[in-house]
Structure 1
Amino acid sequence: MPIAVRAARPEDAAACIDLRGRTRENAFDAAQLAELGITPESWAAGIAEGASIGRVAWEGERMVGYCFADRDSGEVLVLALLPDYEGRGIGRQLLQEVVSRARDAGHQRLFLACSADPRSRSHGFYRRLGWRPTGELDDAGDEILQLP
């Protein structure tokens, strides 16, 4: 079945939260996200208000991945993909589409937090796509990367 990528809709929020708990690395379940103030309602509101720039990937009735950026800051907040769908270009497509929309929103500098551990999948993934370390770390000890 083909993978369909489209703009995120408020009704996708619950599926996004569910999927985030099933990723290979950096998984957060619904309870952990709620502790951070991220609920289906808050996520849906961000999409509805346009504060979140998001793209989602579906295979039939199953969400397989998503990517979101903050419209106001240009930060790529999350890229999540089910493990069975890794290595198929879906994550790259989601990220590229979100980057394009963030640039359309006026952002010249895009940034994200990424594991500083070279053994993590995300470490090499973003660098291969042109993201570069800024030398900064966030509060969790993740590296801040930017896309020139």
Structure 2
Amino acid sequence: MALHFRKTQSNDVSALFAVRGKTRDNPISKQQLAQMGITHAAVVEGLESGELYGWVCVNQDSVVGFCTGDMATGEVLALAVLPGFEGQGVGKRLLGNVVDQLQSNGANPVWLAADSNARVRAHGFYRRLGWLPTGDVLENGDEILALHAT
């Protein structure tokens, strides 16, 4: 299996929505994302303006994972990998690429919101990579984790 990593392009956006709807622990459909104000047009605009920055992992011309960050706030907005590509370092590499750019842009700390349920894979994943809870919790119960520049 040949995996290729590259910066997210505007023509990847439909694939990002497809991947996000097929994740194992927290799938979110295109319709649910639209209700949150996350639309195809908004993501394309964010990527083209430089407000959003992301990386994708491609296998045989199909996006199998992605990570996107907000350049203004330092927030990692999404990290999603298809179940068949979990456990291969895809998420770690995508996240690392986006974090590096956010930090290069001056974000400190870089942060994200994640499920606080220890049974969800993301809970342990982020902690193993050095992300720490800030003590803040969103209305939906997600906790805020931060990765401070070293």
| TM-score between both structures, scaled by the size of structure 2 | 0.96
User: Which blocks of at least 5 consecutive residues in structure 1 are unaligned?
Assistant: none
Stretches of 4+ aligned residues off by more than 4 angstroms: none
1:141 aligns with 141
**Identical pairs, percent:** 42
Aligned-partner SS, 1:134:
strand
User: Which blocks of at least 5 consecutive residues in structure 2 are unaligned?
Assistant: none
Rounded Cα–Cα distance in structure 1 between residues aligned with 2:134 and 2:7: 29
2:120 aligns with 120
State the Cα RMSD in Å. Answer: 0.8
- Per-residue Cα deviation, 1:37-85 (whole angstroms, up to 9, x for no partner): 1121111111111111100110011110000110000011110000000
Rounded Cα–Cα distance in structure 1 between residues aligned with 2:46 and 2:12: 11
Aligned-partner SS, 1:55:
strand
2:33 aligns with 33
Please tell me the residue identity of whatever aligns with 2:84: D
Aligned-partner SS, 2:5:
strand
Please tell me the residue identity of whatever aligns with 1:97: N
| TM-score between both structures, scaled by the size of structure 1 | 0.97
1:80 aligns with 80
Rounded Cα–Cα distance in structure 2 between residues aligned with 1:117 and 1:35: 24
Rounded Cα–Cα distance in structure 2 between residues aligned with 1:134 and 1:125: 16
Rounded Cα–Cα distance in structure 2 between residues aligned with 1:140 and 1:76: 17
Count matched residues.
148
